[in-house]
Amino acid sequence: MLRWLGRNLSTLLIAFLLALFVWVAAVISTDPNIEQVYARSVDIEIIGQDPSLLLVRNIPSQVQLTLNAPQSLWSQLESNPELVTAWIDLSGLGEGEHVVKVKTQIALSPLNVVNLEPAEISLSLEPALTQTHEVELRINGDPALGYRRGPATIEPAQINVSGRESLVQQVVAVRAFLDIAGANDTVRRLASVIPIDEVGETVGGVTLTPASVSVTLPINLQGGYRNVVVKVVTNGQVDEGYWLTNVSISPPNVTVFSSNPQLVNALPGFVETNPIDLTGLSDDVDIRATLDLPEGVSLAGEESVLVRLSIAALEGSLPISLPIEVVGLTPELEAIVSPETVDILLTGPLPILNNLNPAGIRVSVNVTGLEIGVHQLAPVVDLLPSQVEVASILTPNVEVTIRVAPTPTPTLEPTTTAVP
């Protein structure tokens, strides 16, 4: 047997190789390899980075793969993105410039990674740094006339600035900004903080902790000043049929001043306008009103206030009875309306209702396109004056009988004989 195997070993080996070749050819023909770009971009994970070092610039976050794999594996790859992973390993890398290879792993076989884009990534690592800065408050604007600001309180008073060493070292100040223009009471506000470099520009790429601070700035009246409300005084009556619906004042309160603080302290908490005459007014009006101030007391700022008087007409109602007109009737037909008149109730401003002419109002029913017979129709009221509305129609429907109009009977003209 051994001598036979020795004599026929080469033949057996050739037969085995031929069989293997036939099997591989059969497998390839039924499940051919396909080389193509993987449809999904794979996220690149960063591992092994020293926590005391930070990346100086942004690096690619995804990699595109070209794979060679049997056709039967492609459906699995495309349906399950977790089968393909990619990463870069920064273990042992220190400060400075580096080029690292992108590594991949695919949880299927057999397949080959033909190409990676990118295959390598250039990066730079820099030490991380955290510095603490006192918050500088910059105040814009001035409080209202007669008020002054006190010392501000900032909470927290210090901010941590973190990031790459080269950027953090550019920060020379951390500032918060507060606008108090026209303020007449203590300002309490949450203000964002901004990192500033030596030329006053904002430094980007750093993290502030916290990102905002709470600012409290007292605003108080100066001696001899007092804030009081304004009371409007009127005389006379608006036009007949109208009434005063509202009075608004701008500003509703004013600041008064006296060199003698006792004079402003003696005020009752309000000041009156000089009387505003309402006689004959029938519409909204804006009036600049001066204030009736005690001697020795003056108004800080503008010398008057804006008073807006809202005036509206009194509302009323008016019942009237009007005939019903028929519209849309063809000449060969006639219509009989029952009842022939309808009672309506109108509402609106009394001055308009008192001068209303019923002859100018029309009540009608439209019979356009209706056939001969009896119809129930709703009358329509139109030609109403502005601001007047129909509150109700006491007869909401009327009966309209449409029929053929009777033919008129011709009349004979009498003959005459001329007498000489």
Instruction: Answer whether residue 411 is part of any domain.
Output: no
pTM (2 decimals)?
Answer: 0.51
Tokens 């903080």 map to which residue?
Answer: 193
Q: Which residues of the chain register pLDDT less than 70? A: 1-2, 4-9, 12, 15-16, 19-31, 408-420
User: Domain range for residue 86?
Assistant: 33-118
Residues 298, 374 within the same domain: no
Tell me the β-bridge partners of 173.
196
**Residues 184, 148 contacting (CB under 8 angstroms):** no
Q: Containing H/E element for 21?
A: helix 2-30
Instruction: Answer whether residue 414 is part of any domain.
Output: no
Tokens 């992108």 map to which residue?
Answer: 102
User: Which pLDDT does position 174 carry in this prediction?
Assistant: 96
Residues 305, 320 within the same domain: no
User: Which pLDDT does position 415 carry in this prediction?
Assistant: 46
Residues 235, 306 within the same domain: yes
Residues 321, 397 within the same domain: yes
Instruction: Answer whether residue 163 is part of any domain.
Output: yes
**Structural tokens at position 394:** 């006491």
CA distance 101 to 121: 6
Q: Containing H/E element for 229?
A: strand 225-231
Residues 19, 63 within the same domain: no
Residues 328, 342 within the same domain: yes
User: Which pLDDT does position 5 carry in this prediction?
Assistant: 60
- The residue among 157, 189, 221 that closes a domain is 221
Instruction: Answer whether residue 409 is part of any domain.
Output: no
The CATH code of the domain that includes 144 is: 2.170.120.40
